[in-house]
Amino acid sequence: MTTTAHPDIIATQDGVVHVTKDRVEMSGQKMGPITHLHVERERLAALTWQNFDVKRMGATIGAEIRGVDITTDLPQPVIDELRQSLLEYKVIFFRDQPLTPERHVAFAKRFGQLEIHPFIPSNTGVPELVRFEKSFDVKGYENTWHFDVTWRETPSMGAVLHAVKVPECGGDTLFSDMYAAYEGLPESVRDRIDSLDAEHDFVKAFGRQVPDDMKVDMRAKYPLVIHPLVARHPETGRQHLFNNPIFMNRVLGVSPEESAELMTLLWRESSNVEYQCRFQWEDDSVAFWDNRACQHYASSDYWPEIRIMERASIIGTRPSR
């Protein structure tokens, strides 16, 4: 194929594409292909499933499950395969699942014992189900990358979130692959953080909700906890970042300045778009995420419209290296 010459065109090929480095920095921001994702992307592309079909959503994270009705009492082989798909894709999604509170809890219980959350109100009559009801008067503050309840000694294994009522647009939830985030760090940074721990505390996010006369009792019930900054997934055996600015006070064993630097660096790594998938909610959509393998971010762009979600969280194990 020939091209028409023009005096303003001096290039013979796309110069940006042929930059030799994988990542380059421009005005303090990194750009360029994140090449380490290809191994996981290709591995996920080769997976097949017996009991449902999937539509993948991100390079290494997220899949919509099709052909399963989670409002019913599913056979154990289907549950087992859903559990495996959760481990592989880090977060799985379902459409058109009109869950009652009872059926929501029943489905979540197939994957483990459920949490009771002391700081978020439950759905009436179903204590394992917390309700997030946003409106003109109650605004959403979940729009930052985080894991759930890392202030617990044993944070959630995962969570099942059901959309009861959502705006026509806005209020999406994003998920970020923490395996990919860890693997994307320079080796020198990985070596630096592999042996570090961080202090987590409920007070940062929920302290204002605790009445003065209950502060001592709540601190005794939920003391400061220490978790590794890099944890090893108890089922997959893979290392992942376990940083959480919402509940982390500090990185231990380093100066306050280095702690702040590391927390910022790791938070930024979590926000790479290439590590993410984005889910646009509809009424009766469901997301089920592995709270060890991914962080999430609830976009707060729908105020003053109403957004009502209900979540059942599954108790996990203490994070370890």
Closest by CA position to 52, among listed 71, 68, 74, 69: 68
List the one residue out of 185, 108, 170, 181 whose CA is nearest residue 134: 170
Backbone angles phi, psi at 320, to 5 degrees: -145, 170
168: left (phi over 0), alpha (psi -120 to 50) or beta: alpha
Give the pair of three-digit tokens for residue 34.
């994140």
Length of the chain: 321
CA–CA distances in Å: residue 199 to residues 83, 149, 292: 30, 13, 17
Pick the closest to residue 71 from 101, 39, 48, 31 (CA basis).
Answer: 101
Residue 197 among the catalytic residues: no
Tokens for 301, please give them.
């762009």
- Given the residues 83, 146, 152, 250, select the one marked as catalytic: 146
Backbone angles phi and psi of 266, in degrees to 5? -70, -35
Does 311 participate in catalysis according to the annotation? yes
Residue 284: which residues within 8 A CB-CB, separation 6 or more? Answer: 95, 96, 97, 98, 99, 162, 163
Given 162, 240, 292, 311, which residue is catalytic? Answer: 311
Tell me whether residue 299 is exposed, middle or buried, using C-beta atoms within 10 angstroms of its C-beta: 0 to 12, 13 to 18, 19 or more.
Answer: middle
> Catalytic one among 117, 162, 292, 296?
296
Identified catalytic residue from 104, 117, 148, 290? 148
Q: How many CA atoms lie within 13 A of 51 on its CB side?
A: 15
CA–CA distance, 35 with 45 (Å, rounded to integer): 16
Residue with tokens 């044993």: 154
Amino acid in position 51: N
Tokens of 123: 């759905």
Specify whether 6 is catalytic: no
Residues catalogued as catalytic: 146, 148, 296, 311
